[in-house]
Structure 1
């Protein structure tokens, strides 16, 4: 049976500097054999480097399943409600946060300063530092916000903010004192479900990832693979643990799965 492979981006396909040549080779071979390749990322559409979009893969799932592109056509677009975004903005006003949109991301000055400190190795790219301030947002800007990334000053601040979240919103941790707030009904697993249902032909699904926000798709997919550089929780959930990204991990995973 043919497969749809859902690839996390950061730390799985992309090293923050490049896509390993062996990964590109594996993707090319798999597609020639009739398998479909999707990027399934927590990043919103505007935060994905253009060269990754120019790969013209079978599809892209952005913003933790809130926007889906199949064959260059937008088939799902579920931004946060403006009132929810503004409520999060209110309760998180003393923390650092970014309102991440499909077309543009806006950030608080406190979060911009955090990013400057975090970005000493340019992992996130200077683009993250140049996003406009939240104070400049219009109604149209609010209507394209897909998720909120937030960085807390302390565990007590985190507990207080998350205590106020309504049930239709959910928080996913992805680093110490950091994480993202999204629709409860949108995540990387719902993205896989949507894509699988989109096709009339039957496919097996494969999820490959490395971090906490990959756990929903690893649990949902028919086959789950953790990168060797992944966090402990991901490796424990996966059916198979491949090598690290910079040691041909994706290529070795594709070979193990007999995609070529």
Structure 2
């Protein structure tokens, strides 16, 4: 058993099951790892306070790497913030509008969109559980451009939803394929996330471990989707969930059970507690 000092865990499809509940076995195993002095970082494509919420359900102090690694904060210290320029946001919005698809534009703790929230209802559910000081600011407006301009430099990504039109989603992704300054990743087959080039969960982990004074070899990263690939490759021990994509499994050092069978707990026990 190696001397790991940090476990970085994706949320959707990894930490919690398909009903968005953290299996009790995951909680127990991570509490045991924490008691041994191993830090845990919720490492998610979602916003910072969403990570704070789900980290809090584990019953001990966790860290958060948010927005696919674009935003990392410890206490009041922002370790990493890599957003889209306002010109990039407008370019992205123009292509999304042309596609006819629905999108959210996310800052570190703000969601902006036009029309019904749709797949963003997870944030509404999160706000029901978060304290007033931690609630996610949700702005729904028919006129997005003034709201985006007010947050110039703060927008970290756009997430676009297929809403049943996977062909349109694929065409939009293709439109950004060779972009010099933007990347596209997916956290499921039903969405794409448009982010600044160079942003990844690996870069977020890099900022955090620099702060903690540890090396990549002392990190375990656990995930299931395309946006987890960089951290799976970066960490000393990359763990793929049993429900992970084929690409994630191919990149991983170890494959655990599925999110519905507490695969996180099984990996933590194997790698940190045995």
Q: TM-score range by the shorter chain?
A: 0.7 to 0.9
Secondary structure of 2:187 counterpart: strand
Change (3 A) 1:134 1:192: farther
State whether residues 189 and 217 of structure 1, in contact with CA within 8 Å, keep that contact through their aligned partners in structure 2: yes
Deviation per CA, 1:121-141, whole angstroms, max 9, x where unpaired?
A: x7x46559x751362515333
Deviation per CA, 1:137-196, whole angstroms, max 9, x where unpaired?
A: 153334421101123542573256325x74111011333363101111110111121112
How many equivalent residue pairs?
249
Out of 195, 206, 221, the residue aligned to residue 193 of structure 1 is 206
How far off is 1:206 after superposition? 0.8
State whether residues 40 and 61 of structure 1, in contact with CA within 8 Å, keep that contact through their aligned partners in structure 2: yes
Deviation per CA, 1:196-216, whole angstroms, max 9, x where unpaired?
A: 222235561110001111011
What is the TM-score with the length of structure 1 in the denominator? 0.84
Out of 174, 178, 189, the residue aligned to residue 176 of structure 1 is 189
- Partner residue of 1:101? 107
Task: Quote the RMSD (CA, aligned, Å).
Answer: 2.7
For structure 2, the residue ranges without an aligned partner over 5 or more in a row are 127-137
Out of 147, 153, 171, the residue aligned to residue 157 of structure 2 is 147
For structure 1, the residue ranges without an aligned partner over 5 or more in a row are none
Q: Looking at secondary structure, tell me which structure has more helix per residue.
A: 2
- Indicate whether 1:235 and 2:237 are aligned: no
- Indicate whether 1:219 and 2:229 are aligned: no
Secondary structure of 1:105 counterpart: strand
- Partner residue of 1:31? 34
- Map residues 1-260 of structure 1 onto 2, 5 A cutoff: 1-15=3-17, 16-46=19-49, 48=50, 51-55=53-57, 57-71=61-75, 73-93=77-97, 94-109=100-115, 112=116, 115=118, 124=122, 126=124, 131-133=139-141, 135-136=143-144, 137=147, 139-151=149-161, 153=165, 154-155=167-168, 157-158=171-172, 161-162=175-176, 166-176=179-189, 178-202=191-215, 204-259=218-273
How far off is 1:251 after superposition? 1.0
Change (3 A) 1:157 1:138: closer
Change (3 A) 1:49 1:6: closer
What is the TM-score with the length of structure 2 in the denominator? 0.80
Deviation per CA, 1:2-43, whole angstroms, max 9, x where unpaired?
A: 421100011111235321111111111111111111011011
